[in-house]
């Protein structure tokens, strides 16, 4: 089943066929414990083990499938079990588990904590199985009582809180977390040339704008919502080159500094797609569908090098766009970014 990019939002690649999201490679990267982090081409590299960060994203995409297959249902159960095992009694999470099933770190509140809460919050709100929703909400509520000093971690956690609030509007713990997440991001700069709240764009930047948008909508705070939309619009538009998406590379971009073009990471594209889908749902403004369409197009070949960033034979996403072409390794993060973006394309087709 395919959709077309013009219906997903337009852009230079309008009319390109958009494949349905495939979980084939994600299943290849998974076993009965969790989701392996790395692959060489499409072959799992078990020696690198698992990480909570990726498993949480796996739970997120599996939970928001509208009609999940038996395979996707099994993946969600596996990922939820991993996250509940990773969580300690105070709500923090281990991040790294070796192939020998031994944790290699102590529980903490880094990005993996935030992503765990995002995945759990999504499962608690959207998964079709009542028992999955119930267990995910218990784990989310335990973790949501904690706070991280890192704005990205807080943004990821806040997006999980926003998911919970859509299903449970009176969930006080989620409401407090979403408020604190928006506060951790901070207000946008009044300078229209750089309205971003920080002096550098680092990684998954759109998630920071998205959580401000979500908080403004949840609070019915028009000023906060407008601030988040202004941040996101700038972030999208400043990453367009010759009509196509050209995202800030892995090294980031500092205000008034030189901006490199490579290596571009799929996580940046997926974060933009997530945030634009949220903005489109809240505002109804078709401009957000155009921006979402550029993110979809990036994976399909409408990027700086004109090369597809996924492998139709395996269903895996490529790990990055280098100056010489794709990095053909198909790890968990890039494959999840592909699936997530294609889910939005399907929804808005």
pLDDT tens per residue, range 250-308: 999 999 999 999 999 999 999 999 999 999 999 999 999 999 999 999 999 999 999 99
Q: Residue 21 has what pLDDT?
A: 96
How do beta strands 310-311 and 316-317 pair? Answer: antiparallel
Nearest to 249 by CA among 178, 303, 190: 303
Which residues does 35 contact at the CB level (< 8 Å), separation at least 6? 26, 29, 50, 54, 55, 58, 79, 82, 332
Q: Residue 7 has what pLDDT?
A: 41
Q: Residue 54 has what pLDDT?
A: 98
Which residue numbers in the chain have pLDDT < 70?
1-15, 349
Cite the DSSP H helix spans in the chain. 5-8, 24-28, 52-63, 70-86, 111-126, 130-143, 151-167, 172-185, 206-219, 222-237, 266-283, 287-300, 332-347
> d(Cα 293, Cα 269) in Å, to the nearest integer?
11
Q: Residue 1 has what pLDDT?
A: 58
> d(Cα 202, Cα 254) in Å, to the nearest integer?
8
pTM of this prediction? 0.96
Q: Residue 347 has what pLDDT?
A: 86
Cα dihedral across residues 162, 217, 281, 188: positive or negative: negative
Per DSSP, 47 falls in state: G
Kindly report, residue by residue over 237-251, the tens digit of the pLDDT: 999 999 999 999 999
Q: Residue 17 has what pLDDT?
A: 86
Return the bridge partners of 310, or none. 317
C-alpha atoms less than 13 angstroms from C-alpha of 3 in its C-beta half-sphere? 20
């Amino acid at each position: 089943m395919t959709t077309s990019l013009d219906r997903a939002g337009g852009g230079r690649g309008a009319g390109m066929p958009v494949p349905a999201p495939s979980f084939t490679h994600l299943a290849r990267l998974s076993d009965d414990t969790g989701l392996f982090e790395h692959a060489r081409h499409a072959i799992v590299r078990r020696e690198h083990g698992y990480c909570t960060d990726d498993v949480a994203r796996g739970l997120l995409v599996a939970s928001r499938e509208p009609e999940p297959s038996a395979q996707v249902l099994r993946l969600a159960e596996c990922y939820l079990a991993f996250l509940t095992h990773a969580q300690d009694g105070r709500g923090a999470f281990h991040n790294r588990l070796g192939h020998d099933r031994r944790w290699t770190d102590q529980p903490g509140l880094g990005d993996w904590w935030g992503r765990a809460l995002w995945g759990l919050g999504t499962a608690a709100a959207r998964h079709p199985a009542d028992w999955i929703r119930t267990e995910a909400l218990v784990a989310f509520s335990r973790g949501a009582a904690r706070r991280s000093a890192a704005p990205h971690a807080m943004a990821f956690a806040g997006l999980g809180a926003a998911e919970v609030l859509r299903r449970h509007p009176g969930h006080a713990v989620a409401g407090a977390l979403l408020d604190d997440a928006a506060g951790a991001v901070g207000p946008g700069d009044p300078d229209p040339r750089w309205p971003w709240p920080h002096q550098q764009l680092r990684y998954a930047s759109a998630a920071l704008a998205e959580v401000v948008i979500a908080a403004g909508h949840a609070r019915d705070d028009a000023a906060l919502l407008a601030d988040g939309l202004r941040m996101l619009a700038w972030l999208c538009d400043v990453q367009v080159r010759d009509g196509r998406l050209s995202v800030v590379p892995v090294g980031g971009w500092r205000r008034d500094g030189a901006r490199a073009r490579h290596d571009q990471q799929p996580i940046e594209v997926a974060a933009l797609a997530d945030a634009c889908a949220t903005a489109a749902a809240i505002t109804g403004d078709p401009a957000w569908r155009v921006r979402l369409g550029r993110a979809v197009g990036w994976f399909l070949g409408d990027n700086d090098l004109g090369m597809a960033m996924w492998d139709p034979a395996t269903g895996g996403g490529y790990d990055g766009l280098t100056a010489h072409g794709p990095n053909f390794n198909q790890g968990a993060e890039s494959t999840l970014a592909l699936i997530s973006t294609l889910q939005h394309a399907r929804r808005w087709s």
